[in-house]
Amino acid sequence: MVNVYLSTAYLAPVEYYAHLLAANEARVEVHDHYMKQTYRNRCIICGPNGKIDLTVPIVKPDTLKCEVKDIRISDHGNWRHLHLYALESAYGHTPYFEFYQDDFVPFYERKWEYLVDYNEALQEMVFGLIGIEPQVSRTSEYETTVNGLDLREVIHPKRDFASLDPQFKVVPYYQVFQEKLGFIPNLSIVDLLFNMGPESLIVLRKSIDH
């Protein structure tokens, strides 16, 4: 059991939740500088034609070095309706979508000001659905050197998890479009949850090789 350092993430991938579960304690970095095209404000799900990126729009920071904790969510583009529709379109025929759908809806009806607050609240809800209670807290300052496993920039949609995170082991599970697309690893936690329900916990436990 180790301490793990992670970035904030919107409906983070399976890899992220596997580390949360395996860690003694998790620290979510909120004092790093915001960067585009990361899991901080996007997740990747799977529809009938393949991967779909869902991005939470943000208010453009006044400075290039704006800390993540100060990033505000934008109302641009009716994104809440589009994300909820995308989740229903992608997972409406999965075994567990109807069991969990109502838990997600409020997060696309209420307006949240700060991205880190929104991500954290969604994460807590997902913890409850999976049935886990990881020890998670926010950082109080940015540390260049951490006492633990530093995954703040490792878990990233543009980087190869297989080479950068050898502890994470892909555990195949049922996916509703698998017959057409094959198994797609390390999608958003919602892919695992809607497809596998209570068995999501089993998959997460098997996904970290210490």
pLDDT at 76: 83
Domain extent listing, the chain: 3-206
In a structure prediction context, what are the per-residue pLDDT tens digits for the chain, which is 210 residues long? 579 999 999 999 999 999 999 999 999 999 999 988 999 999 999 999 999 999 999 998 888 789 999 999 998 889 999 999 999 999 999 999 999 999 999 999 999 999 999 999 999 999 999 999 999 999 999 989 898 999 999 999 999 999 999 999 999 999 999 999 999 999 999 999 999 999 999 999 999 986
For residue 27, give every residue at least 6 positions away whose Cβ sits within 8 Å of its Cβ, in sequence order, or none. 3, 4, 5, 6, 136, 137, 138, 139, 146, 148
Hey, which residues does 67 pair with through a beta bridge?
33
Q: How far is CA 206 from the centre of its chain?
A: 18
pLDDT in tens, 82-95: 999 999 999 999 99
CB 96 within 8 A of CB 193: yes
Q: Beta strands 3-7 and 25-29: pairing type?
A: parallel
pLDDT at 60: 85
The pTM score is: 0.96
pLDDT in tens, 117-160: 999 999 999 999 999 999 999 999 998 989 899 999 999 999 99
H or E stretch covering 20:
helix 14-22
pLDDT at 63: 81
Q: Can you spell out the DSSP letters for 147-195?
A: SSEE-TTTS-TTS-HHHH-TTB-------TTHHHH----S-BHHHHHHH
